[in-house]
Amino acid sequence: MIYLKDSYIKNFEEKIVLIEEDKIITQDSSFYAQSGGQPGDKGILEINDQKFNVINTIKHEMGIAHVVDTEISDLSGDIKGHIDWDHRYRLMKMHTTMHLLCAALPYYVTGGSIGLEKSRLDFG
């Protein structure tokens, strides 16, 4: 995935693999897919001069599903994706802070959840 190679990439271009209701699936993406207690990226997808608001990004068996705020009927071709960088960067800073906190505490961390305003650590 593009986001695993370089978490600072803000834009990407890719072909649409599949459309499912409110999901635009691509094989690859610079959008981080929700995982491990961390929310997925938000942003904009541009397709054939149309713009779609991405409200979440999740993993899909065929790649990455960009969940948009409307149902989609018939689309194909190439897309241009633009990450909401402020949202991504705030989550990145919170993620790093959570790792630092885990290292500083003398407790075994079993899980957690990362958010924009607050996060949670679970201890075993």
Complete domains list, the chain, with CATH:
2-84 (2.40.30.130), 88-123 (no CATH)
**Largest Cα–Cα separation, the chain:** 54
- Structure confidence by residue, pLDDT tens digits, 28-82: 999 999 998 999 999 999 998 899 999 999 999 999 999 999 989 888 889 999 9
Output the pTM of the full model.
0.91
Residue pair 21/71 in contact by the 8 Å Cβ criterion: yes
Give the helix ranges, DSSP H, for the chain: 2-5, 85-104
In the predicted structure, residue 25 carries a pLDDT above the cut 90: yes
Residues 6+ apart with CB under 8 A from 72: 19, 21, 22, 24, 52
HSE-up (13 A, CA, CB side) for residue 95: 14
